Amino acid sequence: MAERTGGPRGCSVAGCGGAAERSLSMKKVKDSGLELGDDSARKAGLCKEHYKEYKKLTKTDRVLESIGR
């Protein structure tokens, strides 16, 4: 199996220099209201703090989605 090349990615939020802990869909992160620096990629890397903020911003959407299943 081939390994991924390249080092750890940085957080995609504008002005943040933290290391990305999670990788999420760029569309979902944009829709949450977080301001992204470069939105040309397919995935957005989020550091621990911004991932926490993303979860807070999308909590109602995630609850409603789970009810609809």
Is 16 part of a structural domain of the chain?
A: no
- pLDDT for residue 51 is more than 90: yes
Whether residue 4 is predicted with pLDDT greater than 60 in this model: the reply is no
52 occurs within a structural domain: yes
Instruction: List residues bridging with 19 in a β-sheet.
Output: 10
Q: Count the domains in the chain.
A: 1
Q: Which is it for the CA torsion 61, 8, 42, 37, positive or negative?
A: positive
Q: In this structure, is residue 2 part of a structural domain?
A: no
Is residue 11, in this structure, part of any structural domain at all? no
Determine, yes or no, domain membership for 39.
yes
pTM of the model: 0.79
Residue 14, in any domain of the structure: no
Structural domain including 54 reads: 22-67
Residue 9 lies in a domain: no
Q: What is the rounded average pLDDT of the residues 43-52?
A: 94
DSSP secondary structure letter of residue 8: P
Q: Name the residue type at position 55.
A: K
Q: pLDDT digit string (tens) for 7-39?
A: 468 999 999 989 999 999 999 999 999 999 877
pLDDT at 30: 92
